[in-house]
Structure 1
Amino acid sequence: MQASSAQPHDSGSSPGDALYPDLRSRRVFITGGGSGIGAALVEAFVRQGAKVAFVDINGEASEALVERLRARYPGSVPWWRRCDVTDVPSLQLSIADAAQALGTFDVLVNNVASDDRHTLDEVTPDYWDQRIGVNQRAAFFAIQSVVPGMRQLGHGSIINLGSTGWQTKNAGYPCYATAKSSMNGMMRGMAKALGEHRIRINVLSPGWVMTERQITQWLDAESEKELMKNQCLPDKVMPEDIAAMALFLASDASRACTAQEFVVDAGWT
């Protein structure tokens, strides 16, 4: 792979270094937390002292993450369960069991997603349902599960991971683009009713984030040139950059923010 002038941030500190005292002991549920952006989210909230639960379909990656966090943050091991989020009853049972173990959730991060490539001609009804199940339906029913508890608490923050891919008209995943664009509609359709209970709902849309999967499958010399051409900033967007924004949106520092999309893409869109 050809080296690029686009480099990870090198400012001497991590975006996850900021501390939000109000997040200590808050209960946070994250979907798709075993790897990639999800793993960065899990670690960022654990670092804040939050009580974290996550689900993921990849058991091996999830166990490795938990063991790494156990060594790094003794006493703050996240609760986790293997779960296919397209199985809504299983997802909702996982949320209920996690709440039984940790307490009513203050924060929900709907992170789980799959941007597998496909063409319009290849899509069957079953494939459509599976893609929507991962990228859209799981978020809706996770929200449905946590909102009653948030109403009792009198507050809450729901963070739905969106995408800039559909906004830049990327080809190659029309089902994913459809599902991710609907995160904005879901947010706007719920914000008023949830806001009456001080439950905030926002969309956090990453740009091209340098997860291991993205680097392995899609990053090459040509795509790095595209990155440099389109981003305003010369730095690659890292999973920790997404986690840093999620911390802000989960914390009381963003208490007046709801029904908004927050884009972390180094100025691409």
Structure 2
Amino acid sequence: MTEIATYPSLRDAAVLITGGGSGIGAALTRRFAQQGARVGFLDIADAPSQALVAELTEAGHKVAFAHADLRRIDELKAGIAALREQVGPFGVLLNNAAHDERHAFADITPDYFDERIAVNLKHQFFAAQAVLPDMQAAQKGCIINFGSVSWMLGQGNMAIYTAAKSAILGFTRSLARDYGKDNIRVLSIAPGWIMTERQRDLWLTPEADRDRLERQCLKRALVPDDVARTALFFASDEAGAMTNQSYLVDGGWV
């Protein structure tokens, strides 16, 4: 596996990751664990999550998993409480979980709207709410919310998703203002088209790939580690003066 920078301030940090069992989330879990952090992650998919825990535990890392359907705030809170018991009060939160299901605007129902908002926005609010007391007690912390460049591109056929992802920018800036007095930093990362297995299986076509490469400044595929490297830096003390901002990891697509 490619070597990356080491951040001493992340050693023994207690890190919470939502959707940490696959895709970008798995890269986050793996890379923070390799920094020596104590990582707890939530996911709805048991098999890949348990396999990831087994892999990282065998390698000597400290990782715990709790099953949770993040659309259910009671499950989210219960999962966070269970992970806190295993890895300690949280100093870093990575609000990664999302689901970019396509949908025709004319077909949206109120129930579908609520479900899409729950999976792409609502849980970020309540995950932050659950860990902020830990960070306030320590007078230090970092929350990294995950947005998307999709709304900046004006991407179609996913109006609820793009609405939710654009809202994360405002959410991030509000939290940063409210909790800066407690030395808690709040940032957001807006990934571009990251080539996870899901993206390759569902959305990647030769035509779409050509369009992406034409518009990106960097003429290569972006991978989950591109996002994980950025998150490591932001969560570390090396970024100790950075808050209230969003950073695009999109290869210069926007």
TM-score (norm 1): 0.92
> 1:89 aligned to 2:38?
no
Distance 1:220 1:128 in 2: 28
Letter in 2 for 1:33: G
Distance 1:255 1:37 in 2: 24
Aligned mate of 2:240, from 255, 259, 266: 255
> 1:211 aligned to 2:196?
yes
Distance 1:80 1:142 in 2: 15
Residues 55-70 of structure 1 aligned to structure 2 (within 5 Å):
55-70=42-57
The superposition leaves residues 54-86 of structure 1 with CA deviations (integer Å, 9 ceiling, x where unpaired) of 010011111121122223x22x24110110001
Distance 2:62 2:175 in 1: 32
Letter in 2 for 1:59: D
Gapped regions of structure 1 (runs ≥ 5): 1-12
SS of the residue 1:98 aligns to: helix
Which residue is 1:37 aligned to? 24
Aligned mate of 2:9, from 5, 22, 33: 22
Distance 1:133 1:44 in 2: 27
1:257, distance to aligned residue in structure 2 (A): 0.6
The superposition leaves residues 63-113 of structure 1 with CA deviations (integer Å, 9 ceiling, x where unpaired) of 121122223x22x24110110001101111211221122111010000000
Which residue is 1:49 aligned to? 36
Distance 1:99 1:228 in 2: 42
Which residue is 1:231 aligned to? 216
TM-score (norm 2): 0.98
Gapped regions of structure 2 (runs ≥ 5): none
SS of the residue 1:224 aligns to: helix
Letter in 1 for 2:194: V
Hey, which bits of structure 1, 4+ residues long, moved more than 2 A?
none
Kindly tell me the number of residue pairs found equivalent between the two proteins: 254
The superposition leaves residues 122-157 of structure 1 with CA deviations (integer Å, 9 ceiling, x where unpaired) of 111111111000110000000000001100001000
Distance 2:94 2:216 in 1: 26
Distance 2:57 2:136 in 1: 32
Distance 2:246 2:93 in 1: 16
